[in-house]
Amino acid sequence: MSGSAPQRAPVYGKVALIGLGLIASSLFWAMKRANLVGTVTGYARSQETRDTAREIGLCDEVCDSAAAACEGADLIVLCVPIGAMESVAQEIAPYLKKGATVTDVGSVKRAVIDAVGPHIPEGVHFIPGHPLAGTEHSGPRSGFAELFDNRWCLLVPVENSDAAAIAQLRALWEGVGSNVEEMDAEHHDLVLAVTSHAPHLIAYTMVGVADDLRRVTDSEVIKYSAAGFRDFTRIAASDPTMWRDVFLNNKEATLEILGRFTEELFALQRAIRTGDGDHLFDYFTHTRAIRRGIIEAGQDTDAPNFGRGKKDVK
């Protein structure tokens, strides 16, 4: 008798990835790492992206249309910018097989549900999702299998979502290393406005402010970037198309959080202006505790310099 473990059945027989950027490429490598799927097809609108995907072996087959990629697929993952979701859903709808599941990886959920939901045929499951993982890099070459390890993936089932289909999609995300939780769309969009959307907008703004301060030259901004500003620039390097669509499609929640941010900023301005050291100390003590909580939850490292090695320090 052989001592090797039996091969487990794949979670899905055929998966189609529509859009071949960071998330899709990482998902492909992670699914293959864990032997979670049979065949993976892929499609990207750009011929250059499709050529790159073929060159690096991203997907078992790269198709020249979204329809061809989706035909016969058990799971279709929409990895396109939020503004493109509706047109893609319209395009693939006639080619979705009965019993298939359509999901997505967009960081706004109500807008995706409104855009995609009406085009999902009867007998096809629609379970929106959002893996809370990413880097400032984009494109098919940017993906890596470990991206989702110990990161959260939020599933946002719609009304009458099939329990077995949800469990199957959960098994896939858990298989690629994610922790999975379910959430309703409105709460998801508010949570992400706090944890992701508003911080990105603030980072973009701070980098823009540095560019506007002509008394500080461009060479000084680059040469003397301390960790704080340097990390703002890392966030601000994220894909501009994706973030444009995020803010246009999560308008209410983002504006609400930015309003709260403005109030807090005014209070800190007042404390600095009036020399209220106690207020500043108490505020910074509270925010430091939040940072400790993130580390204790395993979502970042407490290693010096955010775990950057000497080779990462420019």
| Domain identity same for 159 and 257 | no
| Domain identity same for 169 and 202 | no
Task: With H, G, I as helix, E, B as strand and everything else as coil, classify residue 102.
Answer: strand
In this structure, is residue 314 part of a structural domain? no
User: Which of the residue ranges 133-142, 175-184, 222-231, 240-249 would you say has the lowest mean pLDDT?
Assistant: 222-231
In this structure, is residue 39 part of a structural domain? yes
| Residue 20, both tokens | 């071949």
Write out the residue range of the structural domain in which residue 222 sits: 187-303
Tell me what the mean pLDDT of segment 260-269 comes to.
Answer: 91
In this structure, is residue 69 part of a structural domain? yes
For the packed helices 198-212 and 240-249, what is the interaxial angle rounded to 10 degrees? 120
| Domain identity same for 211 and 171 | no
Residue 291: per-residue pLDDT: 75
The mean pLDDT value of the chain amounts to 87
| Domain identity same for 166 and 225 | no
pTM: 0.81
Residue 300: per-residue pLDDT: 62
Q: Which residues contact 194 (CB under 8 A, 6 or more apart)?
A: 257
Q: Tens digit of pLDDT for each residue in 221-263?
A: 666 666 677 777 777 777 888 889 988 988 998 899 899 889 9
| Domain-terminating residue out of 183, 213, 228 | 183
Tell me what the mean pLDDT of segment 187-204 comes to.
Answer: 88
Whether the per-residue pLDDT at 314 is higher than 60: the answer is: no
Q: Provide φ and ψ at 129, rounded to 5°.
A: -150, 165
246, 252 in Cβ contact below 8 A? Answer: no
Q: What is the number of other CB atoms lying within 10 angstroms of the CB of residue 178?
A: 23
| Domain identity same for 144 and 18 | yes
| Domain-terminating residue out of 183, 207, 231 | 183
In this structure, is residue 311 part of a structural domain? no
